[in-house]
Amino acid sequence: MGVPFDRTSTWRAGSKFAPSAIREASLNIETYSVRSKFDLEDAQICDIGDLHVVDAVDETMRRLSAVETEIINASKIPVAIGGEHTISFGAIRSFPRTLGVVCLDAHADMRDEYMGEKLMHATFLRRVIELLGPDKVVHVGLRAVCREELGFIEENHVKHFSMNDLRRHDVKEDVRLVRRAVSDFPKLYVTIDMDVVDPGFAPGVGNPEPDGMFPDLSLSILSGVCDERLVGLDLVEVSPNYDNGITAALGAKMLFEAMSAAEAGRSKTEAK
């Protein structure tokens, strides 16, 4: 489902237009994953349209949580297309507190508040950590952090892989390290902020941050981490008005790879 909400965007608004842009791009991408050896045409996927959002953050999060809960109770896997990163909090709080979260993001998003707001795109992951506990979150791709956030990460021992950490190894080793970091999570929720990718490859985002991932690394991490434990997924912060469609296309590809990997893992488990 689409969640066209970008009320708290602080730099380049427009992620509310992303759901339709990513849907359009997805219609023109092949469904077979060479990484996972799985064809998404073999999966049962239903697009239920866009969430009816309002300007109030709390009310939009309440509506999102209500819909996500219905999907979960129907034994389905919700995939949300944002919208800004705040929506991830509304989705994640719908799950049991045993959930483990993998966040691909250039920014820490762990301020206690920003511009007078406690729940917005720059604070959502702190709210998630308060909800689940710091041992239930793994952050991947960090390269933009303020002093307050760095102190919070160190004090709470939040597991994270900065871009400097990732560049010390090749892609295969990076995937292995992230997989090992989430190996104890019984269930996985993956949230993808498109600014984790270098703006040279994904310029159409709300808060572009140089010195980021190449697409190969982001796609490989997703296909390596997403398995039969995946219970929820979102992709956020695409602002399609700032490029010619390449960010939406890459976003669709990242969703395809994550979903394909999860379905391939599920198929293998059921075959045993």
Write out the DSSP string of 7-41: TT--SS--GGGHHHHHHHHHTTS--EETTTTEEGG
Q: Quick check: 249 pLDDT over 80?
A: yes
* d(C-alpha 126, C-alpha 113), whole Å: 9
- DSSP code string of the chain: -EE---TT--SS--GGGHHHHHHHHHTTS--EETTTTEEGGGS------B----S-HHHHHHHHHHHHHHHHHTT---EEEESSTTHHHHHHTTS-TT-EEEEE-SB----S-BTTBSSSTTTHHHHHHHHH-GGGEEEEEE-B--HHHHHHHHHHT-EEEEHHHHTTS-HHHHHHHHHHHTTT-SSEEEEEEGGGB-TTT---BSS--SS-B-HHHHHHHHHHH-STTEEEEEEE-B-GGGSSSHHHHHHHHHHHHHHHHHHHHHHHHHH-
Mean pLDDT of the chain: 97
Do β-strands 38-39 and 32-33 pair in parallel, antiparallel, or remain unpaired? antiparallel
Q: Residues near 86 by Cβ (< 8 Å), separated by ≥ 6?
A: 5, 8, 57, 61, 119, 120, 121, 124
* d(C-alpha 96, C-alpha 123), whole Å: 21
Extents of the domains making up the chain: 2-271
- pLDDT recorded at residue 150: 98
Q: Quick check: 202 pLDDT over 90?
A: yes
Q: Which CATH number fits domain 2-271: 3.40.50.150, 3.40.630.30, 1.20.1640.10, 3.40.800.10?
A: 3.40.800.10
Span 232-239, average pLDDT: 98
- pLDDT recorded at residue 63: 98
Cα R_g (the chain), whole angstroms: 17
For residue range 93-113, list pLDDT tens digits in order: 999 999 999 999 999 999 999
121 phi and psi angles, rounded to 5 deg: -65, -25
Q: Quick check: 272 pLDDT over 80?
A: no
Global model pTM greater than 0.75: yes
- pLDDT recorded at residue 268: 85
- pLDDT confidence tier of residue 183, bands split at 50, 70 and 90: very high
Span 104-126, average pLDDT: 97
Question: Torsion-angle region of residue 116: left (phi > 0), alpha (psi -120 to 50) or beta?
Answer: left
* 24 against 269, higher pLDDT: 24
Q: Quick check: 143 pLDDT over 90?
A: yes
- pLDDT recorded at residue 128: 98
- pLDDT recorded at residue 252: 98
Q: Quick check: 22 pLDDT over 90?
A: yes
Q: At what angle do helices 18-26 and 246-271 cross, to 10 degrees?
A: 70
- pLDDT recorded at residue 43: 94
Largest CA distance in the chain: 52
For residue range 57-68, list pLDDT tens digits in order: 999 999 999 999
For residue range 26-54, list pLDDT tens digits in order: 999 999 999 999 999 999 999 999 999 99
